[in-house]
Structure 1
Amino acid sequence: MRRRQVLKMFAAIALCPLCASIGVAEEGHHWSYEGATGPDKWGELDGADATCSIGSQQSPIDITSAVTARQPSLKINWSKRPETIVNNGHTIQLNTPEGDTLQLGDRSFRLTQFHFHHPSEHLVDGKRFGMEAHFVHAAAAGGLAVVGVFIVPGKKNAAFNKIVSTMPQEAGAPVSADPSIDPSRLLPAERGYYHYEGSLTTPPCSQSVDWIVLAHHVEVAEADIARFAKLYPMNARPVQKIDRRFILRSRAG
Structure 2
Amino acid sequence: MKKILLASSLYYLFSPAILAAPHWEYQGEAGPEQWAKLTPEFGQCAGSNQSPVDLVRMVNAKLVPLVLHYQAGGKTMVNDGHTVQVGYAPGSTLQVDGISFELKQFHFHAPSENLIEGKSYPLEGHLVHINGKGEIAVLAVMFKAGKANVALAEAWSALPVKVGEIQLLRAPLSAEHLLPKHRDYYRFSGSLTTPPCSEGVRWLVMKQPVEVSQAQINAFKAVIHHPNNRPVQPLNGRVVLQ
SS in 2 for 1:93: strand
Task: Confirm or deny: 8 A CA contact 2:102 2:130 kept in the other structure.
Answer: yes
Task: Confirm or deny: 8 A CA contact 2:112 2:229 kept in the other structure.
Answer: yes
In structure 2, distance between residues paired with 1:139 and 1:200: 15
Tell me how far 1:161 sits from its aligned partner: 1.6
For the pair 1:107 / 2:105, whether they are aligned, the reply is no
* Structural mapping, 1:64-103, within 5 Å: 64-103=56-95
Task: Confirm or deny: 8 A CA contact 1:80 1:99 kept in the other structure.
Answer: no
Bigger shift: residues 104-113 or 169-178: 169-178
2:11 to 16, 26, 45: 16
Matching residue of 1:153: 145
* Alpha-carbon displacement from aligned partner over 1:202-238 (angstroms, at most 9, x marks no partner): 0000002100000011001111101111123300000
1:182 to 171, 174, 185: 174
Tell me how far 1:81 sits from its aligned partner: 2.4
Task: Confirm or deny: 8 A CA contact 1:159 1:181 kept in the other structure.
Answer: yes
* Alpha-carbon displacement from aligned partner over 1:124-145 (angstroms, at most 9, x marks no partner): 1111001100000001123111
AA aligned to 1:46 is T
Distance 1:173 1:223, change over 3 A: closer
Tell me how far 1:155 sits from its aligned partner: 1.1
Matching residue of 1:36: 29
2:154 to 162, 171, 175: 162
In structure 1, distance between residues paired with 2:37 and 2:100: 34
Matching residue of 2:38: 45
SS in 2 for 1:65: coil
Over the residues paired in the alignment, what is the CA RMSD in angstroms?
2.0
Distance 1:13 1:58, change over 3 A: closer
Tell me how far 1:12 sits from its aligned partner: 6.4
In structure 1, distance between residues paired with 2:222 and 2:18: 28
In structure 2, distance between residues paired with 1:244 and 1:19: 36
AA aligned to 1:38 is G
Matching residue of 2:185: 193
**Matched-pair identity in %:** 39
In structure 2, distance between residues paired with 1:143 and 1:28: 20
Tell me how far 1:180 sits from its aligned partner: 4.8
Q: Which runs of 5+ in 2 are unaligned?
A: 1-5
Tell me how far 1:25 sits from its aligned partner: 7.5
SS in 2 for 1:68: coil
SS in 2 for 1:136: strand
Q: Which runs of 5+ in 1 are unaligned?
A: 1-10
Task: Confirm or deny: 8 A CA contact 1:58 1:200 kept in the other structure.
Answer: yes
AA aligned to 1:120 is S
In structure 2, distance between residues paired with 1:139 and 1:158: 30
In structure 1, distance between residues paired with 2:217 and 2:197: 26
Tell me how far 1:80 sits from its aligned partner: 2.5
For the pair 1:216 / 2:208, whether they are aligned, the reply is yes
AA aligned to 2:135 is G
Matching residue of 2:135: 143
SS in 1 for 2:238: coil
Matching residue of 2:234: 241
TM-score normalised to structure 2 length? 0.91
In structure 2, distance between residues paired with 1:64 and 1:204: 25
Aligned residues: 235
SS in 2 for 1:225: helix
Moved over 6 A (4+): none
